[in-house]
Amino acid sequence: MNFLDAIILGIVEGLTEFLPVSSTGHLTIVSKMLGLRIDDSAVTAFTAVIQVGAIFAVLIYFWSDISRLFLAWVKGLRSKQARTHPDYRMAWLVIIGSLPIVFVGFAAKDIIKGPLRSLWVVAFALIIWGVVMLAAEAVAKQNRQEADLNLMDVLLIGFAQCLALIPGVSRSGATISVGLMRGLDRVAATRLAFLLGIPALLGAGVYELPSALGEGVGWAPTLVGTVVSFFVAYASVAWLMKYVSGHKITVFVWYRWALGAVLIVVLSAGWLSAT
Its domain, for residue 164, covers 3-268
The predicted model gives 34-39 an average pLDDT of: 80
Which pLDDT band, with edges at 50, 70 and 90, does 157 fall under? very high
- Residue 71 is predicted with a pLDDT of 95
Q: Which pTM was predicted?
A: 0.85
Backbone φ, ψ for residue 118 (5° rounding): -135, 140
- Residue 256 is predicted with a pLDDT of 95
**Residue 122 within any structural domain of the chain:** yes
User: What residues pair up with 144 in beta bridges, in sequence order?
Assistant: 184
**Residue 221 within any structural domain of the chain:** yes
**Residue 73 within any structural domain of the chain:** yes
The predicted model gives 200-209 an average pLDDT of: 70
In total, how many domains does the chain have? 1
The predicted model gives 88-95 an average pLDDT of: 93
- Residue 80 is predicted with a pLDDT of 87
Q: Is 263 within 8 Å of 22 (Cβ atoms)?
A: no
**Residue 133 within any structural domain of the chain:** yes
**Residue 273 within any structural domain of the chain:** no
Q: Is 197 within 8 Å of 236 (Cβ atoms)?
A: no
Ramachandran sector of residue 270 (left: φ over 0; alpha: ψ -120 to 50; beta: rest): left
**Residue 134 within any structural domain of the chain:** yes
- Residue 108 is predicted with a pLDDT of 64
**Residue 275 within any structural domain of the chain:** no
- Residue 25 is predicted with a pLDDT of 85
With 90 as the cut, is the pLDDT of residue 90 above it?
A: yes
With 80 as the cut, is the pLDDT of residue 111 above it?
A: no
Task: Compute, in degrees rounded to 10, the torsion defined by CA atoms 211, 215, 220, 221.
Answer: -90
With 70 as the cut, is the pLDDT of residue 75 above it?
A: yes
* Cα 43 from chain centroid (whole Å): 18
The predicted model gives 189-193 an average pLDDT of: 89
With 80 as the cut, is the pLDDT of residue 218 above it?
A: no
The predicted model gives 7-13 an average pLDDT of: 94
The predicted model gives 130-157 an average pLDDT of: 93
**Rounded distance, CA 115 to CA 51, Å?**
22
**Residue 38 within any structural domain of the chain:** yes
